[in-house]
Amino acid sequence: MDFKSMKNYIYWLYCQFELITCSYLMEPWEKLLFYTFNVIMLVMVLYTAYIFVPVHISTAFQFFLHLFGSQHENTVSIVK
Amino acid sequence: MANPSAVCNGHLHHHHQKQNNLLKSGIYKKNGITKGMKKNGISNGTLYKKTFIEHFEQAPMYVAVLTFLGFGVGTVFGYLRDFMRAWGLEKRNVAAEREQQKDFVPLYQDFENFYTRNLYMRIRDNWNRPICSVPGPQFDLMERVTDDYNWTFRFTGKTIKNVINMGSYNYLGFAETDVNALKTVTIELQKYGTGICSTRQEMGTLDKHVELEKLVAKFLGVEDAMVFGMGFATNSMNIPALVGKGCLILSDELNHTSLVLGARLSGATIRIFKHNNMQSLEKLLRDAIIYGQPRSRRAWRKIIILVEGIYSMEGSIVRLPEIVLLKKKYKAYLYLDEAHSIGAVGATGRGVVEYFGMSPDDVDVLMGTFTKSFGAAGGYIAGKKDLVDFLRTHSHSAVYATSMCPPVAEQIIRAMKCLMGLDGTTQGLQRVRQLGKNTRYFRRRLHEMGFIIYGNDDSPVVPLLLFMPGKIGAFARRMLKKNIGVVVVGFPATPITESRARFCVSAAHTREMLDTVLNALDELGDFLHLKYSRYSKSSHPELYEETRLELED
């Protein structure tokens, strides 16, 4: 029961995608081309995210740590 | 006839009372504003006797973004297909220049041709659908299929029966085949035949035309009228007769092509003011009078304002009281094209002049067509006798165009007599009332459902906004599957991002038919996600602020 309404909802979402991007109007080979292009772009973006996001986060974390860390040292010296 | 609001001569009784009140209490238009006219509790100093509510709701931002996205994808694929056609990878079905003309100036490179080839062709099956019955509240459609994605069609031979008609301009339901109703038309057909074979000035003026012209003049309350065989030609052939070089035409932004063509053919200078915007019009008028003609600074020979009664793509009604005030102040002429509003608005169907409670003497040239509310063909121009006499000799249509054929003239005569009540029944008035009821019901339900509807609350033309190009085709095809015929409009008839479906409510629609259509729209609105309106159930329509015109005389 839940699966059926879920399936209907996903089908409705797919229809919306088709209507918004005008792929409803395309001939089958154009649709294939369009979807292939979209899927390839999506896969590339996800792959890039998978590789680079952890490195970026750890670099950013270290940068902020260094920033706040050096401030801490400065305040200590002035107090002294 | 037990009709409470005593109809005499087709004028509602309170119309006479209003005029008597005006003269009795000695209230004349002072400073252009009628003072002391308390009617139904409306305050003093207002030009509009009833509230003027128009909606032009803007879509949410994400809709605009997604529309552009859709067009972007369509354009990219359009370029791809053009490339494939140019390089021979795909069979060419389009119009193209011949081999010998390849080095000439290109004919098909502009945006309109690109759009037609690549976007319009994909959804072309929703237009030019052949019907095979009278376009009444329901009609029969010939079924056609396409094998090569809308480049060619073939008929299967079957007809789709009883499709509910929401597209025909059949406002009063006079497009009917009832034998009793068409009795006089068949008699005239057998008496006169069908062809005229001449122009008005040669041998084409029949007694039917004289009778019709007198009837039209009486219907509108003017001195004289002249009828022409074609509605479009009435505008495009008569405006050049009325204005020429050295004259100024102030035309509304969204005027119909016939008005634009007539204005361009006349050779006068054309200036455009924003749609229904009185400040824009007043500014243009002031500039015209202050600065005169462009280089010689002479005064303009004539200044004429071209407006329509109801604009068919927006469903908006012209702000006639304000325009009449402006024209009187700045001494300009007014040409009112009532193609869609004659018969459709007003308490007895006499158009926007009656809708606003004004006198037909305020408008210099009253033009209208018989195609929409009267179920016939042709157009008229009405006004003072001098004007019509001038047109009889100087109009291109009178000299060169074949005049209206007699059965059609008789159809207009019987429809008009029915409207005025001269045939002894109240059928005409009932039709006008039914149209008003249907219009209000339809618009109210659509607003409640959450669609974006443009236009005035009283106009029977209802544009429903679709916005995205992909939904145009989907909407029309699914409505046809549910046995409802609609007209969808896109570029170039509307701005490119505002494609719409246009419904024309008719007096011949029953409540059940309207309910069927509304339920189908509800379902389809949910499925296609068309309910963009941000004002839900208890909607507060944006009330237009009454412009305060300060007039110093």
Q: Is the Cβ pair A12, B74 closer than 8 Å?
A: no
3-state helix, strand, coil in chain A (%, to 5): 90, 0, 10
CB B153 within 8 A of CB B146: yes
At B337, phi and psi to the nearest 5?
Answer: -100, 105
Q: What's the pLDDT tens digit per position in B438-483? A: 999 999 999 999 999 999 999 999 999 999 999 999 999 999 999 9
Q: Domain B59-165+427-535 falls in which CATH fold?
A: Aspartate Aminotransferase, domain 1 (3.90.1150)
> Measured between alpha carbons, how far is residue B268 from residues B189, B246, B249, B251, B288 in Å?
42, 6, 7, 12, 13
Strands (E), B15-108: 54-55
**What average pLDDT is seen over chain B?**
86
Q: What's the pLDDT tens digit per position in B194-248? A: 988 899 888 889 999 999 999 999 999 999 999 999 999 999 999 999 999 999 9
| Alpha carbons within 13 A on the beta-carbon side of B343 | 30
A-chain CB neighbours of B122 within 8 Å are: 25-26
H helix runs in B296-405, sequence order: 320-330, 352-355, 385-394, 396-400
pLDDT-derived band at A80 (thresholds 50, 70, 90) equals low
Range scoring the smallest mean pLDDT among B82-91, B183-192, B532-541: B532-541
pLDDT-derived band at B15 (thresholds 50, 70, 90) equals very low
Interface of B with A in 134-153 (CB under 8 A): 149
Q: Is the Cβ pair B473, A25 closer than 8 Å?
A: yes
pLDDT-derived band at B306 (thresholds 50, 70, 90) equals very high
Q: What is the pLDDT of residue B342?
A: 92
Strands (E), B82-206: 138-145, 154-165
Q: Is the Cβ pair B73, A12 closer than 8 Å?
A: no
Q: Mean pLDDT over residues B419-444, rounded?
A: 92
Q: Mean pLDDT over residues B502-521, rounded?
A: 94
Do the strands B500-504 and B461-465 form a parallel or antiparallel pair, or are they unpaired?
Answer: antiparallel
Burial B308-323 (b: 16+ CB within 10 A, else e): bbbbbbbbbbbbbbbb
At B29, is the secondary structure helix, strand, or coil?
Answer: coil
pLDDT higher for B93 or B220? B220
Query: Nearest C-alpha of chain A: how many angstroms from B69?
Result: 7
pLDDT at B27 over 60: no
Q: Give the number of other Cβ atoms within 10 Å of residue B302's Cβ.
A: 16
Which candidate, B409, B406, B393, B388, places its Cα nearest to that of B201?
B393
Q: What is the pLDDT of residue A79?
A: 56
Q: What is the pLDDT of residue B107?
A: 84
pLDDT at B157 over 60: yes
Q: Which of A25, A26, A34 to mutate to test the interface with B (most CBs of B within 10 A)?
A: A25
Q: What is the pLDDT of residue B7?
A: 42
Q: Which two tokens stand for residue B448?
A: 């409640």
Q: Is the Cβ pair A25, B122 closer than 8 Å?
A: yes
Q: Is the Cβ pair A22, B123 closer than 8 Å?
A: no
The rounded percent of chain B whose pLDDT value lies above 90 is 67
| B325 Cβ contact list (under 8 Å, min separation 6) | B32, B47, B549, B551
At B2, phi and psi to the nearest 5?
Answer: -85, 70
At B482, phi and psi to the nearest 5?
Answer: -85, 10
Query: Nearest C-alpha of chain B: how many angstroms from A48?
Result: 24
Q: Give the number of other Cβ atoms within 10 Å of residue B546's Cβ.
A: 13
C-alpha span between B283 and B298 (Å, rounded): 19
Q: What's the pLDDT tens digit per position in B36-79? A: 443 444 344 577 877 888 888 888 899 999 999 999 999 999 99
Residue boundaries of the structural domains of chain B: 59-165+427-535, 179-420
Q: What's the pLDDT tens digit per position in B135-156? A: 999 999 999 999 888 999 999 9
Q: Is the Cβ pair A25, B529 closer than 8 Å?
A: no
Range scoring the smallest mean pLDDT among B6-20, B153-167, B440-454: B6-20
Q: Between A20, A24, A30, which is nearest B69 by CB?
A: A20
pLDDT at B11 over 80: no
Chain A residue with minimal CA distance to B147? A27
Q: What's the pLDDT tens digit per position in A30-72? A: 999 999 999 999 999 999 999 998 888 999 999 998 888 776 5
ipTM: 0.78
Q: Is the peptide bond before B460 cis (omega within 30 degrees of 0)?
A: no
CB B226 within 8 A of CB B381: yes
Q: Is the Cβ pair B473, A16 closer than 8 Å?
A: no
| Alpha carbons within 13 A on the beta-carbon side of B257 | 5
According to DSSP, residue B36 is labeled: S
Q: What is the pLDDT of residue A76?
A: 54
Domain count, chain A: 1
Q: What's the pLDDT tens digit per position in B353-378? A: 999 999 999 999 999 999 999 989 99
B-chain CB neighbours of A41 within 8 Å are: none
Q: Is the Cβ pair A21, B70 closer than 8 Å?
A: yes
> Which CATH entry fits the domain spanning B179-420: 1.20.58.340, 3.20.20.70, 3.40.640.10, 3.40.50.1820?
3.40.640.10
CB B332 within 8 A of CB B304: yes
H helix runs in B450-494, sequence order: 469-481
Which candidate, B364, B388, B391, places its Cα nearest to that of B305?
B364
> Measured between alpha carbons, how far is residue B529 from residues B409, B458, B510 in Å?
46, 27, 27
Q: Mean pLDDT over residues B305-325, rounded?
A: 93
Q: Between B469, B528, B529, which is nearest A22 by CB?
A: B469
Stated as kind and residue range, the H or E segment containing B395 is none
Q: Mean pLDDT over residues B152-167, rounded?
A: 92
pLDDT higher for B538 or B397? B397
Q: Is the Cβ pair B149, A27 closer than 8 Å?
A: yes
| B511 Cβ contact list (under 8 Å, min separation 6) | B441
Do the strands B269-273 and B455-456 form a parallel or antiparallel pair, or are they unpaired?
Answer: unpaired
pTM of the full structure: 0.83
> Residue B122's Cα: distance from chain center in Å?
28
C-alpha span between B402 and B2 (Å, rounded): 44
Q: Give the number of other Cβ atoms within 10 Å of residue B418's Cβ.
A: 22
C-alpha span between B231 and B367 (Å, rounded): 9
| A62 Cβ contact list (under 8 Å, min separation 6) | none
Q: Mean pLDDT over residues B248-272, rounded?
A: 95
Q: What is the pLDDT of residue B256?
A: 94
CB B498 within 8 A of CB B467: yes
Which candidate, B314, B305, B219, places its Cα nearest to that of B263?
B305
Q: Give me the amino acid identity at A78.
A: I
